[in-house]
């Protein structure tokens, strides 16, 4: 078994959850699976194709071939086997690198001055997770560098927003000023689930499926009544918001303290 096949098999349970979720929503809402795969899973990103359906960007032909075959299958097991096989062949899983500072990254400010931040496990020490208490100092230094860069390179940046399941964790929230984390609210009326703000909770720092959470989620999918799909997730995504100044002015000491 080559490395691509081994990695794909490691993700079988992860893909299983996403395909079950997409199939359930598509059945209830009368949508086809190709739409559901793009809208309710993060497979497009996980396969290395980036953000799906970006304006002005041609849709990847390989992705379209994947969707065509998905639509030809009527059974979950067939779709799952195809997703695993496709990933094993594709084997170009990638994480965003632009504007990255260690495990953190950001999207440049939009017209309103909003900066959106994200977190990916790029920690090279696989023995313990990136949010372990011994790595607090490392993470805070990454954030301090990122805030300084944003302030220097994007003077129009005014506010910071985050959307993630991670804001349920004290281990993540302790990396930020209290002003920011105390603003967290549940993200409701979600129409898309094609990022990692919800799906990341099912994998540990080694990329292994968290079985207890996966079982809770699978059971919730089976019992779903068609309302509030975001509540099916054990840790529904939370949204945070704060002025950029609370990270860059008078908070440098707080950011650097482990």
**Cα-based distances in Å from 156 to 98, 116, 235, 243, 249:** 19, 14, 33, 12, 16
Nearest Cα to Cα of residue 87 among 49, 124, 113: 49
Question: For 214, what's the count of Cα atoms within 13 Å in the CB-facing half-sphere?
Answer: 18
The position carrying tokens 């011994």 is 134
Q: What is the pLDDT of residue 144?
A: 97
pLDDT for res 179: 95
Tens of pLDDT, residues 114-124: 999 999 998 87
Buried b / exposed e over 65-99, threshold 16 CB at 10 Å, is ebbebbeeeeeeeebbebbbebbbebeeeeeeeeb
Low-confidence residues of the chain: pLDDT under 50: 252-258
- pLDDT tens-place string over residues 216-246: 999 999 999 999 999 999 999 999 999 999 9
CA distance 234 to 242: 25
- pLDDT the model gives residue 126: 66
| pTM exceeds 0.85 for this model | yes
């Amino acid at each position: 078994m080559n490395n691509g096949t081994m990695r794909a098999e490691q993700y079988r349970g992860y893909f299983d959850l996403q395909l079950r979720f997409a199939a359930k929503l598509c059945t209830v809402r009368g949508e086809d699976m190709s739409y559901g795969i793009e809208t309710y899973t993060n497979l497009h990103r996980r396969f290395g194709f980036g953000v799906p359906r970006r304006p002005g960007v041609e849709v990847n032909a390989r992705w379209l071939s994947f969707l065509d075959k998905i639509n030809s299958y009527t059974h979950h097991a067939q779709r799952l086997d195809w997703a695993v096989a496709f990933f094993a062949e594709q084997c170009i899983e990638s994480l965003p690198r632009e504007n990255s500072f260690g495990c953190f990254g950001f999207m440049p400010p939009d017209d309103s001055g909003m900066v959106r931040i994200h977190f990916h496990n790029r920690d090279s020490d696989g023995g313990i997770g990136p949010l372990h208490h011994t790595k607090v100092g490392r993470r805070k230094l990454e954030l301090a560098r990122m805030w300084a860069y944003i302030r220097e390179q994007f003077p129009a940046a005014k506010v910071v927003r985050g959307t993630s399941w991670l804001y349920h964790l004290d281990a993540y929230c302790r990396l930020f000023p209290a002003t920011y984390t105390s603003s967290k609210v549940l993200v409701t009326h979600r129409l898309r689930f094609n990022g990692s703000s919800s799906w990341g909770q099912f994998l540990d720092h080694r990329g292994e499926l968290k079985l207890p959470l996966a079982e809770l989620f699978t059971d919730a999918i089976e019992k779903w009544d068609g309302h509030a799909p975001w509540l099916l997730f054990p840790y529904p995504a939370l949204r945070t918001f704060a002025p950029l100044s609370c990270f860059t002015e008078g908070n440098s000491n707080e950011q650097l303290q482990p």
